[in-house]
Amino acid sequence: MHKYYGDNDKLWLAVDCIVFGFDEEGLKVLLIRRDFEPELGQLSLMGGFVQASEDIDTAAHRVVEKLTGISDIYLEQLQSFGQTDRDPAGRVVSIAYFALINIQDYNTDLGKTHNATWYPAQNVPRLIFDHNQMVEMAKKRLRYKASTKPIGFALLPNKFTIPQLQKLYTAIFETQLDSGNFSRRIHSLGILKRLNEKQRGHSKKGAFYYIFDEDKYRKLEDSGYSFVIK
């Protein structure tokens, strides 16, 4: 160890991941039941210590993939949490990340291994340490980013209906959106491609499926036109 570092205190560096998913019931957060002390048996975010051989982004991807079985995800660093007393077991600094996954791709067997359960994002129960603060901050960041970037599509299946898309944004913003205005706004962006296929069972007419056209979005972005939903 370098002589200039040797006299300094040691601490642990961890990552904690807020994993968001979306289904017919709304926006969800994936939580685990902790199987070790401190706070044995309590609800927690999925996290882990950063290994000496990896950077923090790699550690966060590893943690999310270990929990969900998904590697190709939207993952964004949120903030560091370094209060001296945040973890009673020792001096731990945690870097929080939030991830967006298609809940249909979630590996339920892995979830069972980690005692993981989806909880409504609007009603997250008490979590250990400062994890509730992390979740609230992640929800706030998600609302901001979803209003200016098409990151919400990462929470949807590859094909979706306009009512499903509206329900997603209603859940993210936690407010009702006018159906007519929302439909006109999203169609005006020109970033959706309609498929010759309808969702059946929800109405007599059915609703057409769409896919997100990333190439069109990139052209829109390059032209200086902003993605604004709300």
Domain spans, the chain? 12-148, 156-222
Mean pLDDT, residues 24-30 taken together: 96
Annotation: CATH topology of 156-222? Arc Repressor Mutant, subunit A (1.10.10)
Q: How far is CA 74 from CA 21, 53, 105, 112, in A?
A: 11, 23, 13, 23
Q: Which of 6-10, 55-59, 107-111, 120-124 has the lowest mean pLDDT?
A: 6-10
Position 200 pLDDT exceeds 90:
no
- C-alpha–C-alpha distance, residues 132 and 134, integer Å: 5
Question: Quick one: what percent of the chain has pLDDT higher than 90?
Answer: 86
* pTM of the model as a whole: 0.94
**Residue 190 and residue 171: Cα distance in Å, rounded?**
23
Mean pLDDT of 3-29: 93
| Domain 12-148: assigned CATH number | 3.90.79.10
The helix (H) or strand (E) run that includes residue 210 is strand 207-212
